[in-house]
Structure 1
């Protein structure tokens, strides 16, 4: 996975990503989930306002093409 280039692409090419606004928390007390990001997508615990934009999907082929083209532009 190429996480840093994908983070940049999310800003420069947002059309490549499917996003959803969600309320995200960092689990700090769980024995098995400590440090994990937690999203209650079903709203079972409590309904909280979104505080984060979460990427659900990416057009991986198009993203790869943009990354390769960008790297290739440095050789010219």
Structure 2
């Protein structure tokens, strides 16, 4: 899954999880028929997108409030 575009370089990192969390993650990944690493990657990506969308929604709400003053 390597991409040649320099903007999308793949970086490696380590994450330490308590054994219980690790086992839960493996179980959830297994249910979805994906690897543990893919489960973490998808989860992180979803969290980033979710946060970004929530930030945008809040910004729109703030702009609407300014218009109602």
TM over 0.5: no
State the TM bucket, normalised to the shorter chain.
under 0.3
Higher strand fraction: Structure 1 or Structure 2?
Answer: 1
- Which is higher, the Rg of structure 1 or of structure 2? 2
Under a length normalisation based on structure 1, what TM-score does the superposition of the two structures give?
A: 0.26
Under a length normalisation based on structure 2, what TM-score does the superposition of the two structures give?
A: 0.27
